[in-house]
Structure 1
Amino acid sequence: MPTGTVATGTVATDTVLLRSVRPLRPGCDGLGDPVDVLLAGGRVRAVGAGLDPGGAEVVGCDGRALLPGLWDHHVHMAQWALARRRLDVSGARSAADAVALVAARMATAPPAAGEVLVGFGFRDALWPDEAHRSLLDPVTGDTPVVLVSGDLHQGWLNGAALARFGHGGHPTGRIRESEFFAVVSPALQDAPTEVLDGFVADAVAAASARGVVGVVDFEAPWSLPDWRRRIAGGTTGLRVEASVWPDRLDDALATGLRSGDVVEGTGGLLTAGPLKVITDGSLNTRTAYCYDPYPAPPENPLEHPCGLLLVPPAQLRPLLARAHAAGLTAALHAIGDHANTLVLDAFAGTGARGRVEHAQLLTADDVPRFAGLGLVASVQPEHALDDRDVADRLWAGRTGRAFAFATLHRAGARLALGSDAPVAPLDPWIALAAAVHRTADDRDRWHPEQEIDRATALGASFGVVDGSAAAVVVGAPADLVLTDADPTSCDPATLRAMPVAATLVGGRFTHRAGV
């Protein structure tokens, strides 16, 4: 059988017989005995031992695990595609470290005249020194430089970039939240459409190689037209649920599409998603909206000691009500505990349905409201590991109710796992591993009481298409992943780096290596 990665958009034979696989059992409680699985017409048509292939292509699978394909329930796809090509400053442990990385790039591969040097991934909350434009200017000169924070909520700009993006008089070069969003989109996404689409196609192929069959894309301001174009151009490796942001809500409503509607002409790959609203900031940027203030020295108090509320209830509720009346669900970003309370209040007050994105810090009273309101807690487990040290400092005394996945699950909330790529890599195995084992290094697990079991984590990583059960059963969509190890029982390190042998979307191979 052929080996290697199959290019996105490869056309498969009409039927495929997967010979000798061990399907995940319903309930995600382990793998079944080896059987054959026949795929035809985009669905599972038969499951049993010794199936007659008829005219199907027979693929020997040697007893590998077969699971429903994985979804990443929170990505920013264009930003992820771009971040994969940007200067990586995530390893900087100080502002001086970041400047040294910029200086090295300027010396070895400076951008062409007029281009912006963009770096990604700095996390400054624990730095011993302060990021400032005056540190960048001596090593960058007239080249505009924008360093994007790892949480996507702030940027560090040099003088040339500040002038270019309308902030020439800014005293520090640190731009946060709404002002920075205006720089990121569209100012930093100025690659020609065909170039950016090529970057996205590469990112889709990489996701397919990790067993991903679908993503919920929260790229601003409305990614549905972009995905319609990309799918028509051959980028068909994933199913995509495309969200819309408030400033394009009128355009989305004009289409008449409701959340979950399939977009015609996309082969069933593209559906209309929710309305996305960012209501507060982030932990690392110290703008997540909390009841308690962030620690700060008296001589240098924070301008917003409890964080920032970006969309207050007086704006949020009418927006939710309008979307709900038009058939759109909502995906509301809330990280701080006060922001989460206000978001839950808005859902309760409008009757809107949907998801809370992140839900990183919660009060005890708010936890049961998720299930009571029928809301999904869309969480990103790798953030708990990335942010553990920051949370210990900035949310001291409150981390027992931070990233509270087990508490939410016990209270009946439905969880959906994601990456928030590029904040964390678009790799669902990383999210799974972080959800069930809260450390990725040699340190003790961080708040292990908030770990969830494998079955819960796997169930929160599947995408239920047209109501079908998330299991390999007759009639289920043939969105599948073959793995070399058993994800229900392997050690955490193997789970995090899970070897994927093949991925199929609608019975069509989007990745194939070793089978």
Structure 2
Amino acid sequence: MNDPNTVANPNTVTDPNTEAPGAPSATARPLTLRRVHLGAGGPLSDVRIESGLVRAVFPAGEAPRADGQSLDLDGRTLLPGLWDSHVHMVQWAGLRRRLDVSGAGSAREAADATGRQAATLPPGEPMIGHGFRDGLWPDAPHKELLDALVPDRPALLISMDLHSAWLNSAGLAMVGRGDHPTGLLREDECIQAMAQLPTASVELTDQWVQEACVAAAARGITGIVDFEYADNIADWTRRMTGAAVPLRVAASIWSPQLEAAIGRGLRTGQTLDTPGGLLEVGPFKLLTDGSLNTRTALCHEAYPGTVPGEPGSHGLEQVPPQELVSLLRHVSSHGIEPAIHAIGDRANEMTLDAFEAVRCHGRIEHGQLLAPKDIPRFAELGVTVSIQPTHAVEDRDVADRHWAGRTHRAYAFADLLAAGAVLALGSDAPVAPLDPWLTMASAVTRTGDERPPWHPEQRIPVADALAGSSRGQRLIRVGDWADLVVTDADPLTADAGTLREMPVHATLLAGAWTHGPWL
């Protein structure tokens, strides 16, 4: 194969398309992709793209000469464009500029790193870090640890799962919680505190998001479902009106914006009036429990070290069952599909019960720990399970400790597939990187280091991981939007390392280049 950083055969380029990456254009020139494998393991083909659509497919060498750009792709692989089905985009964009303490093995170690970083900042600038996992730490996060090392400015560390925040005294005072005894805020307290933090300007935040979108396109991403806790429809309408965003976006709705969305007659899947038609109404997001790392995921069994029946021993119930049923009935009656966060087995059972009572379409986000009897219910009820496979790789140690004896039914991807469930794969960025190849490799290998696979019986085939990362699209068909990705290796035959770091040659969104060596 030729150098992936050059057009394979420049002599076949009749009219290079040098438009900047961004939204699909009605004036984008026609394009013929020659000598490309049509799908993973597919036949060598020529593919004709016009007006943003796949217009024709020919055996390799048989596409007629036509107007527009013609590229010889030298036997590379053409795949449906990739989606990340669970992203917090503003947090992901901001995280790329924050201190990473994910490698800290203790509260002391995380505090030491925070102190070193704070010493490099201008006076008065808040110190913000991310990625801590206290579920396995030998010591507890406490404001006094941070106070000793960062006494002169607000300091805040956000946990890897976004369900905890650890602040020093100055940080607590900044968010109106100066009397908090420990400085470790969880669940609603954490969300409220983060919402009160000083933020970058709208213009700067949008610039960061745009940069993150361009980086996502370079990994083959053509669309995301954004679960940022914000007015996502308004924010993405502004971004897409002001700049050429190189992704499709399904913008979720949260409770504060729900009634306004219903009042406007918005429905999940509806395309909104933005340049290129790239913005659609996403699902309604609701949390029923917490997370594993914070021991707030709602489970049938008590967590180790707690007394069964005492408050918090089984996790946190965010929404009572009857209220959940009422909410699902309310949003679905207005054409808005629910996306319900449920991690513990008790939370998943409760959520499936609600879907069964209401009989509406929707999704369960995460579905990390499942009772065996509930696994077939996803397919029976038509509920998509939105999974984040990198969590299984990164959570294996904390799961072995806090879900001991139950991990055979944690992150049960293969069992769900065997039962007929529809899987939607995502990253939960910033909890894991916004990289679909890392996501797929985690689902396929069940390991992220040199250790053997964790519960290898729950690995899934590459083809199913690709489908789960492509909104279920397994084939490229004539008439489809030309949302496509060109890879230098075939995912079906790639080894684990290549799959994880897949070299992406180019990405197309509705026939317009959003990534490629000629841009």
Q: Answer yes or no: is 1:150 the counterpart of 2:160.
A: yes
Q: Answer yes or no: is 1:369 the counterpart of 2:377.
A: yes
Distance 1:31 1:197 in 2: 39
Q: 1:395 maps to what in 2?
A: 403
Q: 1:182 maps to what in 2?
A: 192
- Paired residue for 2:47, among 37, 42, 48? 37
TM-superposed CA distance for 1:156, in Å, is: 0.3
Q: What does residue range 43-82 of structure 1 map to in structure 2 within 5 Å?
A: 43-48=53-58, 49=60, 50-82=62-94
**Percentage of matched positions with identical amino acids:** 50
Q: 1:265 maps to what in 2?
A: 274
Q: 2:262 maps to what in 1?
A: 253
* Structure 2 counterpart SS, 1:125: helix
Q: What does residue range 298-447 of structure 1 map to in structure 2 within 5 Å?
A: 304-447=312-455
Q: 2:286 maps to what in 1?
A: 277
Structure-2 change in CA distance of 1:428 and 1:441 (3 Å): same
Cα contact 2:289–2:296 (8 A) shared by 1:
yes
Q: How many residue pairs align between the two structures?
A: 501
Q: 1:502 maps to what in 2?
A: 506
Q: 1:488 maps to what in 2?
A: 492
Q: What does residue range 98-113 of structure 1 map to in structure 2 within 5 Å?
A: 98-107=110-119, 109-113=120-124
- Paired residue for 1:476, among 476, 480, 486? 480
* Structure 1 counterpart SS, 2:275: coil
Distance 1:303 1:111 in 2: 43
Task: Give the residue type in structure 2 aligned to 1:43.
Answer: L
Superposition TM-score, scaled by structure 1 size:
0.94
TM-superposed CA distance for 1:267, in Å, is: 1.8
TM-superposed CA distance for 1:470, in Å, is: 4.0
Structure 1 runs (4+) deviating above 3 angstroms are 1-13
Distance 2:513 2:197 in 1: 34
- Paired residue for 1:229, among 231, 238, 252? 238
Distance 1:390 1:265 in 2: 43
**Residue ranges of structure 1 left out of the alignment (5+ in a row):** 25-29
Q: 1:27 maps to what in 2?
A: none
TM-superposed CA distance for 1:9, in Å, is: 4.8
Distance 2:18 2:100 in 1: 28
**Residue ranges of structure 2 left out of the alignment (5+ in a row):** 1-6, 8-15
TM-superposed CA distance for 1:6, in Å, is: 5.7
Structure-2 change in CA distance of 1:258 and 1:297 (3 Å): closer
TM-superposed CA distance for 1:231, in Å, is: 0.8
Q: 1:117 maps to what in 2?
A: 127
Cα contact 2:438–2:500 (8 A) shared by 1:
yes
- Paired residue for 1:450, among 444, 452, 458? 458
Distance 1:213 1:346 in 2: 32
Cα contact 2:17–2:69 (8 A) shared by 1:
no
Cα RMSD after superposing both structures: 1.9
Q: 1:15 maps to what in 2?
A: 30
TM-superposed CA distance for 1:184, in Å, is: 2.0
Distance 1:152 1:474 in 2: 42
Structure-2 change in CA distance of 1:87 and 1:3 (3 Å): farther
* Structure 1 counterpart SS, 2:515: strand
Task: Give the residue type in structure 2 aligned to 1:81.
Answer: A
Distance 1:9 1:326 in 2: 30
Structure-2 change in CA distance of 1:8 and 1:397 (3 Å): same
- Paired residue for 1:134, among 124, 139, 144? 144
Distance 2:80 2:123 in 1: 45
Distance 1:13 1:250 in 2: 38
* Structure 2 counterpart SS, 1:356: strand
Structure-2 change in CA distance of 1:431 and 1:392 (3 Å): same
Cα contact 1:145–1:158 (8 A) shared by 2:
yes
* Structure 1 counterpart SS, 2:301: coil
**Which whole-Å deviations, capped at 9, do the CAs of 1:239-266 have from their partners, x for residues lacking one?**
0001101121011112211100000133
